[in-house]
Structure formats: C-alpha cells, structure tokens
Structure 1
Amino acid sequence: MSFKLIYIWFLPPLVLVLAAGTLYALNMADKWQLQRINSSAQDMATPTVEQYDPQMVANLPKAAQRYFAFSIQPGTQLQARVRLQMQGELGLGDNDKPNYFEFTARQIIVPEKGFTWALRSKGFPMVIGGSDVMWGDQSWTRFWLYGLVPVAREGGTKDHFRAAEGRYLIELAAWSPAALLPQYGVEWEEVDANKARAWVTTSTGRHGIEISVDERGAPTAYKIERWSNANPASQFQYQPFGGTPERFVDIDGMQIAQKVIVGNHFGTPDYFPFFKAELTKIEFF
C-alpha cells in the first residue's frame, strides 16, 4: 500500500520534470540551429565589391534613379549583406487591442540566402525569446515564453516560406538598397512620377517591391503583395504589406531607414502596424 502511495505522489512531478526537460532541450536545439546559420553567414566568402556609379541606374525610371541617388553616394562600396541590432515594439493583437511588447533583436540579411532575426522581449512580466528565419530553402517562426513554453512554432511549409520571403523583400528596400541594383538581375518599372517598382525573381516567382519617394529620392513608403494568412479567414493569399520609414542614417555611404513602422494590409483601412523598430547598430559585411 505504501509503495503504491509513493508511486502516485511521485508520478506527476516526474512527468512535469520530463516535460520541462524536453521543452528546454527543444529550445536549445532551436538556438543551436540559429547559431549554425549565423556562423555559416560569417564564413561565407566575401563577394567582389564594386563602387557605385550613377550610370548603373541611368536607364531606370526617374523615381528609381532618385531612390538610388538618395540611398547610395557615388564611389560607395556596394555591399548588400548587413548585420543589424534593433529595438522596438511588436504587436500581437489587432488595431483594437494591439498588445504591443518591447523587444530587442539581432538580424542578418544576406541577399543570396535570406535573413535571420533573433528576438528577446525587454522585460517582465512577459519574457519572450526566439527567432524568425528564412534561409536557403527553409523558414521558421519559433518563439518561447520563459524559455519553456512554445508560443509560436511554425515553418516547414511552402506557405510559411512564401510569407517569410515577403518580409525579406521589403527589408531589402529599407536596409540593403545595393541589392536592388539592376546588375543583380532586378528589373524596374515606373508606377508614377514618385513611385517605382523593383521586380525581384526568386525560387517562388517574380515579386514587385513598390517604393515611393519624395523629391530628394528619400523613401516615403515600401509596399509588396505578400503571401499571408493575417486576415479574418486565416486564409493564405496575396495582400498588401509594407510601411513607412521615419528617419535615415548614413552608413559607409549608404542611406538606410533607421526607424520603420510596418504592418499587414498597408494602404487599406485594415492596416495594422504590428512592427515598429529602430536600428541601434548597422554594419555591412
């Protein structure tokens, strides 16, 4: 009888310990996979770097020429890979209840590969950490509460990859303007006097990044039709995604957006700016 009582009392704690250990090991595996990708990015061979010449864009639409004139100074080393550190707010809700929480994050963008984004919330009571990744032919979104409770774990599907690719493309326009130069296979078309569209071909097809500029060529908005299920039906479809920069910073001859506000359904009444970020460190490599 006493043996049975001991068994009954010890079983629930044992199950909890085993479950916590399993989740902790899974979290560590996520971090290891992210670190492996980041290390491979650091070890990639440095591409041949050209210097920017405005003649490279002389045949583009006027709005695109102004975008590059503002974004890249003549003679600048054309580096497209970038390491970023940022802080900001991430909204988990909607316009009625945004549920913003403050975060810090580290990101790398490598045009020929994709991006990694490692996030951590700034404090209590909600401690969230994890990563959002599109790299090569894989993608995932993996966030954890207190390092033990998975609050988002998605990826490994064509839908997720196409959605992640939409984020990657919009960030090229904001943070890696050299990646959109025509010598890298990017095609441009005029939309109107203050707007041009960059067409980028990837493994999933041809995608148009719409960039609006002012008279100086400074971007005023970025927009793309992104594959997403952020809609009332939770159904994947192409829908407007984008946002606006609030100020710019010069890094090694390139002007990039230091602060951006981005969200789903950009340019429509349903626009929800769920991502507000300010760069605290920028380094091209």
Structure 2
Amino acid sequence: MLAKILFLVGSLVAIALIALLIIQAKNNAEIAQIWQTLEPRTPSIEAFSPDLVADQPEPVQRYFLHAIAPGTLLANAVYLTMKGSIRLAPNQDWMPLQAEELLSTVGFVWQAKAGQGMLQMQGADYYTAGTGRMRFSLWGLLPVVNAQSPDLIRSAIGRSVGELFWLPSVLLPQRGVSWQAIDDNTIQASLALDNEPITVTFVIDNQGRLLKSSFLRWGDQTEDQHYANIPFGGKYQAEQTFGGYTIPTQMGAGWWIDSDRYFEFFRVTIEQAAFL
C-alpha cells in the first residue's frame, strides 16, 4: 500500500515538473520572439555629425558631442549585459543580479537572474507595441511574479524611455525629440512612445558627461500603493565608450529621486554594449 502511495506521489510530482518545464519553454519562446521583433531589420547607414545638433542650445550640443563620436553610425538598438544587485523593498537585503537587455526605439526586453542558491529567481520584463509583462520564477520553474496590466504597461513605457541614455542616437532631434536647456548643466528631452508623453531631465558636467537623469514614471510606490506619476531616475558614477558611443556604465536607480523618500533598488555595472 505504501509503495502505491509513493508511486502515486512520485507520478504527480513528475507530472507537475513536466508541466512547469512546458510552461517555462513556452515563456522562453515568447521572450525570444519579442526579442527578435526588437532587433533592427537593416543596419543603419546614417552617421552622426555635429551638424545634426548645430541648432540646439550649447548644453544639448555638449551632451551629444560627448555621447556620440562623429562618423558613428546611428544605431536603432543596443544590446547590453550587466551585473550588480537589486532589492524589492527598502527593508530587504540586496540580491546579486545578472542580466541582459535589448533596448530599441520601440521597447525593451530585460532578462535577469536575481538571488542565489535556493532563492534564485529567473525571468524577464518587457515592453513593445503597446504590451508589456513582468514574469519571474523561482529556479526558472516555480512562478513567483506574472504581472500584466494597463498600469504595468504604462510604467514599462516610462522605463523604456528613461533608459534611452544607453541609446543616445534615438534621442537626436531628428528622431522627433524636443530639447531645451534649463541651465548650463541641465537639459530636458521631451518625446512620446506609443502616445505616452515623457520629459526626461539630464544633469551633465562641463564635458557633457551624464551625471543624473530623472522623469515622472507611473508606479505604485506610494503610501497606499495606488498608481501615480512618481519621480524616478538614476545617478551615474562611471562611463565607457563602445563603438563610438560613450554611455554610463555604473549606476544606481530608484523611485522618489531627489527626495528624502528616495528608494534606490537597482545598482548595476554595464559589462558590454553592442549597438545595432
């Protein structure tokens, strides 16, 4: 009798494991397909020239002349690999993080592993073509987060635009971005992604290096967890040049930037950047 019970339990565990593996394979295929849609179909043939920003205020020119070397092909996407740490709440410990991301003119896919050992989570966060999702699983099998909603999609649009400092070619005025200089070291880029208007503020130094960025992002980091536009942004400690692009490579980011409520939850170092 005991043998039959153990056999039944073992069979149920095996069936559950197979089901989880099938679900994970389906999820991986979905992410791979989205990744493919974000990759540029044809390589860019247009190159950066200072003439492209000659009519902009001097601080805006300074930023672009620092970020893009003359003659560099104007990329439509960037592939990033990163490592660092992440936490889910201010009172929680930091977890080690490894991730790769494809960021393009129309969205992003971020695939990550966070935590370690028995508490490692794997999954992805993405936005493209008006849809987005966040899905993470323990050990890549047991679902922990599977979120998709209009609020999450709107927040993901903000993330997509807010990370374009890693892809400065798509911030050029010729791409429909409106720039203004607030002062000698503060500039603002106004643009829209899928009809969601966003204004990003950049703080730069006298050489044009990006020190900080911020914008209003849709999120639920409020006292009663209702969604609202919340100041969000990052601070950048180091930069590196990849293929003619000079971008921040060491950063921390979080909600309620520039306030006493600042919750930094994301710290990474960019290891590689390939512009497409």
Sort the TM-score into its range (normalised by shorter chain). Answer: over 0.9
Q: Is the 8 A contact 2:76 2:104 kept in 1?
A: yes
- Distance in structure 2 (CA, Å) of the matches to 1:59 and 1:206: 23
Identical-residue share of aligned pairs (%): 28
Q: Is the 8 A contact 1:98 1:274 kept in 2?
A: no
- The amino acid of 2:157's aligned partner reads E
Q: Is the 8 A contact 1:116 1:131 kept in 2?
A: yes
Q: Is the 8 A contact 2:157 2:196 kept in 1?
A: no
Question: Please, which of 148, 168, 172 is the counterpart of residue 164 of structure 2?
Answer: 172
Shift of 1:56: 1.3
- Distance in structure 1 (CA, Å) of the matches to 2:156 and 2:37: 20
- The amino acid of 2:47's aligned partner reads Q
- Aligned counterpart, 2:123: 130
Question: Please, which of 92, 101, 105 is the counterpart of residue 98 of structure 1?
Answer: 92
Q: Is the 8 A contact 2:44 2:75 kept in 1?
A: no
Gaps (5+ residues) in structure 2?
A: none
- Aligned counterpart, 1:146: 139
SS at match of 1:60: coil
1:217 counterpart = 2:208: yes
Question: Please, which of 151, 156, 167 is the counterpart of residue 159 of structure 1?
Answer: 151
Shift of 1:45: 1.8
Shift of 1:16: 4.4
Shift of 1:49: 2.7
- Distance in structure 2 (CA, Å) of the matches to 1:252 and 1:122: 32
Shift of 1:205: 2.4
SS at match of 2:117: coil
Q: How does 1:67-78 map to 2 (within 5 A)?
A: 67-78=63-74
- Aligned counterpart, 1:186: 177
Q: How does 1:187-266 map to 2 (within 5 A)?
A: 187-266=178-257
Shift of 1:12: 5.5
- Distance in structure 2 (CA, Å) of the matches to 1:253 and 1:35: 28
- Distance in structure 2 (CA, Å) of the matches to 1:7 and 1:231: 53
Shift of 1:8: 7.1
Q: 1:186 to 1:120 in 2, by over 3 A?
A: same
- Distance in structure 2 (CA, Å) of the matches to 1:6 and 1:254: 65
- Aligned counterpart, 1:45: 41
SS at match of 1:125: helix
SS at match of 2:71: coil
Q: Is the 8 A contact 1:166 1:227 kept in 2?
A: yes
- The amino acid of 1:23's aligned partner reads L
- Distance in structure 2 (CA, Å) of the matches to 1:237 and 1:272: 16
- Aligned counterpart, 2:79: 83
- Aligned counterpart, 2:101: 107
- Distance in structure 2 (CA, Å) of the matches to 1:190 and 1:40: 35
- Distance in structure 2 (CA, Å) of the matches to 1:265 and 1:41: 30
1:27 counterpart = 2:24: yes
- Distance in structure 1 (CA, Å) of the matches to 2:119 and 2:183: 45
Q: Is the 8 A contact 1:49 1:79 kept in 2?
A: no
- The amino acid of 2:28's aligned partner reads K
**Residues 165-222 of structure 1: CA distance to partner in whole angstroms, max 9, x if unpaired?**
111111102x101110000100112222211110111223211011111111111101
- The amino acid of 2:26's aligned partner reads A
- Distance in structure 2 (CA, Å) of the matches to 1:89 and 1:36: 27
Shift of 1:104: 1.0
Gaps (5+ residues) in structure 1?
A: none
SS at match of 2:109: strand
Aligned pair count? 276
Q: 1:98 to 1:59 in 2, by over 3 A?
A: farther
TM-score (norm 2): 0.92
- Distance in structure 2 (CA, Å) of the matches to 1:48 and 1:92: 38
- Distance in structure 2 (CA, Å) of the matches to 1:22 and 1:234: 34
